[in-house]
């Protein structure tokens, strides 16, 4: 029985700033909704609490999820607190999706409620790009000092190793932190929906806001056109920067090479990704890099700066290129386009991109978050301390068993909910979170495993869970180098 199955008939609230129908919804809303749908499908009684927007209804039910909307951009916090107080004994678990400022749910729920905080990325530096003093200082205070106190000892979920590092280093969180990555697009296909362009083409998908730095792509186009006169750039997305970016393109004289599509449907986005040779993500930082996986799903590699989140989503030589944070974007794009100049190189790259994207799924992400919820429910009900609670070390072990069925039963009985394992015949692969090699060997001894390969896991191991990155065609690297 999966962790999702064990959450059937459990009352769970998801708290998110926006729901996916909100006009400004983005990747964070996709993450929340895709996991919520799977919780509900498994039988959990799921309520999504979010803000109202013009034309929205206060109550709605979609995909088995009860949606409660109240308050606006900032009023949603007080409205959500009031909702939790009115339903103080109504939820077994509350999952608080932080978008810069969390909802501080532990202040409004009983001590036996499992409260989990989900962090996409740390906003300490980004408050200055959105707000002036004193609001920016208040935002930093709430995200750091206040959150650290309110959520002390509570499980925290992050979407990437970069976000975990930011939560430790910038926010000072000492909580147990679990990584639950994004899945690939729910409507994505592993086969192209259109023809790859015969000439160099870029597709950029982004919200048009300052921190996404889409202007860097436009400023690189003149130099790119000197090397590739036939280059076409498809820019998808909308936001407050749209008019300024159009003006920039006109001033640079690249209007004929750049097409502003605005907000596009999922089908159209897939078509444009499938058409492109490369996607570019110039953001200053991300929690993960959903656009990278969306492009990879369509066989399109990505180029981004070596910054938090994006360095996790891109595996150089597998699904794209990473550029030094102070690197020249035009030079980096040229390097990538040169590496993709031959049709065979594009085909090999597409194969590797699809294999990397296929390692992520919303089903797996929902199951991993369900394990965190289930483990905390068990802790609150039994008043147990969490073993290996706050260590960020993880260990990969591989071994074979002479009696694999007995070993599988022992693995199911002995491992934590949040550990991951996989069996293929008599071979086992375990990912043990929150322990070093010595503790891993002790765990294997309890499983009566006499001989095993044991090694510390890296960031990509943790992202992939029990999936072995060597199972796919990842060692058949495409031509090219890291810019």
Which position has the higher pLDDT, 304 or 289? 304
**259 strand-pairing partners:** 234
Same fold, 3-179 and 201-359: yes
Q: What angle, 0 to 180 degrees and rounded to 10, lies between the N-to-C axes of helices 27-41 and 362-382?
A: 70
Can you list the positions of beta strands (E) in 26-71? 45-50, 59-62, 65-69
Give pLDDT, residue 437.
85
Residue, of 461 and 224, whose pLDDT is higher: 224
Element holding 379 (H helix, E strand): helix 362-382
Can you give the pLDDT at residue 390? 66
* Residues 246-259, mean pLDDT to the nearest whole number: 95
pTM over 0.85: no
Residues 295, 278: Cα–Cα separation, whole Å: 8
Domain ranges of the chain: 3-179, 201-359, 390-483
With a pLDDT cut of 90, the percent of the chain lying above it is: 61
Cα separation, 393 vs 143, in Å, equals 25
Question: Among all chains, which residue has been given the structure tokens 């004289």?
Answer: 253
The string of pLDDT tens digits covering residues 266-289 is 899 999 999 999 999 999 888 888
**Mean predicted confidence (pLDDT) in 195-218:** 93
* Strand ranges inside 293-378, DSSP E: 302-305, 320-323
State how far the alpha carbon of 428 is from the alpha carbons of 145, 319, 465, in Å: 42, 27, 13
Give the residue with greater pLDDT, 302 vs 480.
302
Q: What is the pLDDT of residue 63?
A: 92
Computed over every residue of the chain, the mean pLDDT equals: 88
What was the pLDDT predicted at 259? 96
Cβ–Cβ < 8 Å for 67, 35: no
- Beta-strand ranges (E) seen in 290-416 are 302-305, 320-323, 394-400
In this prediction, residue 483 has a pLDDT band, given cuts at 50, 70 and 90, of: very low
Whether the pLDDT of residue 479 is over 70: the answer is: no
> What totals of helices (H) and strands (E) does the chain contain, helices first?
18, 18
pLDDT at position 389, please? 52
pLDDT value at 135 more than 70 = yes
Strands 427-433 and 420-424: antiparallel
Q: Rounded CA gap, 270 and 56, in Å?
A: 28
* Residue 318's pLDDT band (cuts 50, 70, 90): very high
The pLDDT value recorded for residue 481 is 37
Q: Which of 100-114, 123-137, 147-161 has the lowest mean pLDDT?
A: 123-137
* Inter-residue contact 202 to 236 (CB < 8 Å): no
- Residue 260's pLDDT band, with cuts at 50, 70 and 90, is very high
Judge whether residue 189 has pLDDT over 70: no
DSSP-assigned letters across all residues of 396-463: EEEEE-SSHHHHHHHHHHHS-TT-EEEEETTEEEEEEES--HHHHHHHHHHTT----EEEE--HHHHH
- Supply the DSSP string of 143-184, one letter for each residue: IIIIHHHHTTTS-EEESSHHHHHHHHHTT---S-EEE-----
φ and ψ at 418, to 5 degrees? -90, -5
pLDDT at 345: 95
Contact 205, 274 (CB under 8 A): no
Q: Is the separation of the CB atoms in 18 and 24 below 8 Å?
A: yes
pLDDT single digits (tens) 15-24: 998 998 898 8
3-state helix, strand, coil in the chain (%, to 5): 40, 20, 40
Class for the domain spanning 201-359: alpha beta
What is the fold of 3-179? Rossmann fold (3.40.50)
pLDDT of residue 471: 52
Is 90 exceeded by the pLDDT of residue 468?
no
Cα–Cα dist 277/196, whole Å: 7
Q: What is the pLDDT of residue 477?
A: 40
pLDDT of residue 482: 37
Task: Judge whether residue 201 has pLDDT over 90.
Answer: yes
Token code pair at residue 78: 């007080």
pLDDT at 470: 53
* Residue pLDDT, tens place only, 356-389: 999 999 999 999 999 999 999 987 765 544 444 5
Q: State how far the Cα of 224 lies from the Cα of 204, in Å rounded to an integer.
A: 15
Q: For residue 232, what are the β-bridge partners? A: 201
Note the pLDDT of residue 186. Answer: 57
DSSP state of 471: G
Q: Which residues of 25-51 are buried (b: 16+ CB within 10 A; e: fewer)?
A: bbbbbbbbbbbbbbbbebebbbbbbbb
d(CA 220, CA 206): 17
- Residue 208 CA, distance from chain mean position: 19
pLDDT digits (tens, 9 = 90+) for 417-439: 888 888 889 899 999 988 888 88
Ranking 241-255, 353-367, 435-449, 456-470 by mean pLDDT, the lowest is 456-470
CATH, range 390-483: 3.30.70
């Amino acid at each position: 029985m999966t962790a999702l199955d064990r959450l059937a008939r459990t009352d769970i609230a998801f708290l998110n700033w926006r729901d996916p129908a909100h006009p400004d919804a983005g990747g964070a809303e996709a993450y929340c909704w895709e996991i919520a749908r799977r919780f509900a499908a498994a039988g959990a009684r799921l309520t999504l609490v979010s803000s109202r927007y013009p034309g929205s209804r206060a109550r709605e039910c979609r995909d088995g999820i009860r949606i409660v909307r109240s308050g606006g951009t900032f009023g949603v916090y007080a409205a959500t607190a009031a909702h939790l107080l009115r339903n103080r004994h109504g939820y077994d678990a509350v999952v608080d999706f932080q978008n810069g400022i969390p909802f501080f749910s532990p202040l409004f729920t009983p001590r036996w409620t499992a409260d989990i905080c989900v962090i996409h990325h740390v906003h300490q530096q980004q408050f200055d790009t959105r707000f002036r003093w004193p609001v920016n200082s208040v935002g930093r205070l709430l995200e750091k000092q206040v959150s650290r106190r309110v959520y002390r000892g509570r499980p925290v979920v992050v979407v990437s190793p970069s976000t975990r590092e930011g939560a430790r280093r910038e926010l000072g969180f000492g909580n147990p932190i679990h990584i639950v990555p994004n899945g690939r697009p729910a409507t994505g296909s592993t086969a192209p929906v259109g023809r790859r362009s015969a000439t160099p083409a870029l597709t950029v998908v982004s919200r048009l806001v300052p921190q996404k730095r889409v202007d860097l792509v436009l400023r690189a186009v003149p130099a790119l056109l000197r090397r590739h006169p036939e280059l076409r750039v498809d820019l998808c997305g909308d936001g407050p920067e749209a008019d300024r970016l159009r003006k920039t393109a006109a001033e640079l004289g690249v209007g004929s090479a750049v097409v502003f599509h605005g907000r596009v449907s999922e089908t159209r986005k897939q078509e444009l990704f499938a058409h492109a040779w490369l996607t570019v993500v110039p953001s200053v930082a991300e929690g993960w890099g959903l656009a990278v996986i969306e492009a990879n799903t369509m066989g399109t590699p990505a180029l981004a700066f070596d910054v938090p989140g994006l360095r996790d989503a891109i595996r150089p030589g597998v699904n794209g290129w990473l550029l030094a944070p102070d690197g020249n974007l035009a030079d980096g794009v040229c390097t990538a386009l040169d590496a993709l100049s031959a049709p065979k190189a594009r085909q090999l790259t597409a194969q590797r991109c699809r294999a990397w994207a296929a390692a992520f799924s919303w089903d797996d992400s929902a199951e991993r978050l369900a394990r965190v919820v289930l483990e905390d429910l068990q802790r609150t009900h039994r008043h147990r301390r969490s073993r290996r609670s706050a260590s960020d070390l993880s260990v990969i072990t591989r071994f074979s068993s002479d009696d694999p069925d007995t070993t599988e039963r022992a693995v199911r009985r002995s491992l934590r909910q949040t550990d991951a394992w996989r069996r293929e015949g008599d071979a086992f692969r375990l990912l043990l979170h929150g322990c070093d090699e010595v503790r891993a060997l002790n765990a294997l001894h309890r499983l009566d495993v006499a001989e095993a390969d044991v090694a510390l896991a890296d960031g990509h191991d943790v992202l992939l869970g029990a999936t072995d990155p060597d199972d796919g065609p990842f060692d058949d690297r495409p031509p090219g180098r890291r810019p």
